Amino acid sequence: MKKLYYAALFYTVLGLAGGLYYRTLTHARDFTGDTQLAVVHTHFLALGLLVFIILIPFERVFELSKNPLFNWFFWTYNVGLLWTGGFMTFNGTNTVLGNTISPAIAGISGMGHVIITVAFVLLFICLRPGLLAGPKALKQ
């Protein structure tokens, strides 16, 4: 459970820092166009903070971490989210600075979403046994 708490805290800090970076960089460069930097903070807050905060009660009730696939979910999800956010920051920063980047970067950055999808499949596999056990499991 501590791992989920610290992950939520980490993504809260990362999300807030991403928002601050976006506002600071765009104001410093007088940038008014569209950039991926605008959604970095929401990705970290929604996919990081909210997902891990929501998982804390599920861990409490269903002991998700006892499932051997839970660690696979946890680390795969973190890699995918950091990959996604990192490339969004890279792309957005280059947009604000006026640099052109290779279209291949978009494909590489999209891999982060694929990794997150794999992690969600693992999460649902971990959730299934506890949810199917029904209310009897909750009374213990």
List C-alpha distances in Å: 110 to 2, 85, 128. Answer: 30, 10, 28
The tens digit of pLDDT for each residue in 69-127 reads: 999 999 999 999 999 999 999 999 999 999 998 888 888 888 999 999 999 999 999 99
Please, what is the angle between helix 104-133 and helix 51-62, to 10°? 30
Question: Is the CB of residue 83 less than 8 Å from the CB of residue 119?
Answer: no
pLDDT band at 139 (very low <50, low <70, confident <90, very high): low
Report the alpha-carbon distance of residue 36 to residue 69 in Å, rounded. Answer: 32
Please list, in sequence order, all residues whose beta carbon lies within 8 angstroms of the beta carbon of residue 16, skipping any fewer than 6 positions away.
Answer: 41, 45
Instruction: Write down the domain spans for the chain.
Output: 2-139
Report the alpha-carbon distance of residue 63 to residue 130 in Å, rounded. Answer: 8
Which residue's structure tokens are 């891999």? Answer: 111
Report the alpha-carbon distance of residue 91 to residue 85 in Å, rounded. Answer: 10
Reported pTM: 0.91
Please list, in sequence order, all residues whose beta carbon lies within 8 angstroms of the beta carbon of residue 28, skipping any fewer than 6 positions away.
Answer: none
The tens digit of pLDDT for each residue in 3-56 reads: 999 999 999 999 999 999 999 999 999 999 999 999 999 999 999 999 999 999
